Structure 1
């Protein structure tokens, strides 16, 4: 739904709207006119505030739950607040120290990313998420195990000792001897290369007549390498702090929380969402049904890309939580974590 531009609201409407949103985000409850009238800086009677709130409701910025006399921001209202009114608070020295301290523990990059996500989760009281690009393995050894006349298991051992298996469809008439010939070629000629580099080397040797393989074996090698290409670069999603989503305020909204936890289990969908965020230059904020994935749970995602030394986006870090989260505090915190990760990767 289109949202009213901020400059079309009167000063009085902006003040009331801002106070309603800030109070709602602080307490998670609909806000009444009497509550607003007692806040500093407002010189309006409860009756005048009710009239302004009614106008804001007609504009689609506030909603009026049937079970409450108060009002709360709609998703469109939250979007207007985040884009045009929010005054972000920089992370405190303590918060920055927690994030940087987790990153300075050393160890593999994946462990540092997981630590940063856990820190972000703890500080934001949300679920922390980070999208880690899956590094393409370097070949050390390759083998084929025939499963049936038309299928074989391709087994790849990486230089780091990792072992991965994929099922490969075979052309008709392939023997175990031919499978062994193809596997020996890969292990002998392509060891020490990434999958992408191995595919380029294979094509170059075939063109130059240096492959020393017949047509059937060449096709087997190509299939064995290509079976990883479909998902070899699929990003890995790390989620930390799901328990933060089950707090006291969630008791009255347990179905929404259950839905969100189910959505977090479907990591591929969230990975795709974050991957779309990596295409942007900066912070992305998805509020509720703005993204179909979280339409049912009414959740928000705040995500920012982190980069390598060459400036290229490596992944995305962020949080998932209820739409009533403290955007002014969490948005800068996510941005700081992304910057800290970029320094680590640089």
Structure 2
């Protein structure tokens, strides 16, 4: 597919840049097309006819569009991209907004809860849905045990070094004795404690292949199944937290409800949205995805603003951002996402 690029800002005359900026600012504030009469009353010192001529040029350049023949102009997605990349004047978060974000980040408890609370604060302040991709931290094992549930099933109980407890139901080998459950749990705790799941699997394979384990066949099968089920489940586990879906509906008028419904459908496909956020992990810059620039939002016409945050070792561990209609207050929301990412970096540092 051929992509038609917007003209560089330098190719626009001063008059065209001024009118284009006013149209975008007016549209982002009101959600309505901006007409030549409104622009003429804004102190441009140009006649409505002259303004209409410039608007027509900007429309031919693919930067503006008119939803109806008699209506004013509104920016296209290409126009929004030009505005965001080269004309937007960002507004730093207020002291109150900073305090709200920092307060939610400092609520204590598990990291995931702090991330969810911070994302909820960002959602409330931006009037968008807040997104955060949870740090990809591998569980470190403290102990593993097996509790019989019947002749053919057992509950495998994993306790992490951070105190987190997870349970999984596994199928038992035919004729397994209760003693094999105890033996398998004792072996895994003694041999694998302090290791991540990946490290535990590697050690287990070395131990069993080298014949250094005194486990009988039934206990060995339990060990392999118990460890495999967490590794397999962890790979499928959602890594995306979304807060503030309702805010998207609150700000939508009747004509916009179908777009918002399409956006909510997009959010239900968390893996696709997580993949989009994952693409923002590279580098330090804030990434802005506008409308159909990403095929995920072709129908909903949505925008995502995202920025990575880092952990104690300085490496990127996740991405935080917002999703909403393309008619976002980019000048306000982009710095807010920047500040939230910096706050989460301090939290995890």
With structure 2 as the length reference, what TM-score do the two structures score? 0.87
Aligned residue in 1 for 2:83? 81
Alpha-carbon distance in structure 2 between the residues aligned to 1:241 and 1:26: 21
Q: Report Cα offsets for 1:113-166 as digits up to 9, x if no partner.
A: 1221111111111111111125433242243879999xx767232232522326
Structure 1 residue 268: Cα displacement: 2.2
Call closer, same or farther: CA 1:248–1:203 in 2, change over 3 Å: closer
Structure 1 residue 344: Cα displacement: 0.9
Match of 1:16 among 15, 19, 29: 19
Alpha-carbon distance in structure 1 between the residues aligned to 2:155 and 2:213: 20
Match of 2:68 among 56, 60, 66: 66
Which moves more between the two structures, 218-227 or 24-33?
A: 218-227
Report the count of equivalent residues.
340
Q: Quick check: 1:109 aligned with 2:111?
A: yes
Which moves more between the two structures, 10-19 or 128-137?
A: 128-137
Q: Quick check: 1:343 aligned with 2:343?
A: no
Residues 136, 317 of structure 2: 8 Å contact kept: no
Structure 1 residue 176: Cα displacement: 2.2
Q: Quick check: 1:190 aligned with 2:192?
A: yes
Call closer, same or farther: CA 1:279–1:216 in 2, change over 3 Å: farther
Q: Report Cα offsets for 1:204-227 as digits up to 9, x if no partner.
A: 424554222467865663453233
Alpha-carbon distance in structure 2 between the residues aligned to 1:161 and 1:106: 15
Residues 139, 195 of structure 1: 8 Å contact kept: no
What is the RMSD of the two structures over their aligned residues, measured on CA atoms?
2.7
Q: Report Cα offsets for 1:247-276 as digits up to 9, x if no partner.
A: 354322111111112222222221222122
Which moves more between the two structures, 101-110 or 230-239?
A: 230-239
Which moves more between the two structures, 22-31 or 91-100?
A: 91-100
Unaligned runs of 5+ in 2: none
Call closer, same or farther: CA 1:204–1:327 in 2, change over 3 Å: same
Aligned residue in 2 for 1:157? 158
With structure 1 as the length reference, what TM-score do the two structures score? 0.88
Following TM superposition, the consecutive aligned residue runs of length 4 or more in structure 1 with deviations greater than 4 angstroms are 144-149, 181-184, 214-220
Aligned residue in 2 for 1:334? 337
Residues 238, 270 of structure 2: 8 Å contact kept: no
Residues 131, 235 of structure 1: 8 Å contact kept: no
Question: Mapping of 1:245-324 within 5 angstroms?
Answer: 245-324=248-327
Residues 154, 224 of structure 1: 8 Å contact kept: no
Alpha-carbon distance in structure 2 between the residues aligned to 1:278 and 1:15: 35
Residues 3, 77 of structure 1: 8 Å contact kept: no
Aligned residue in 2 for 1:98? 100
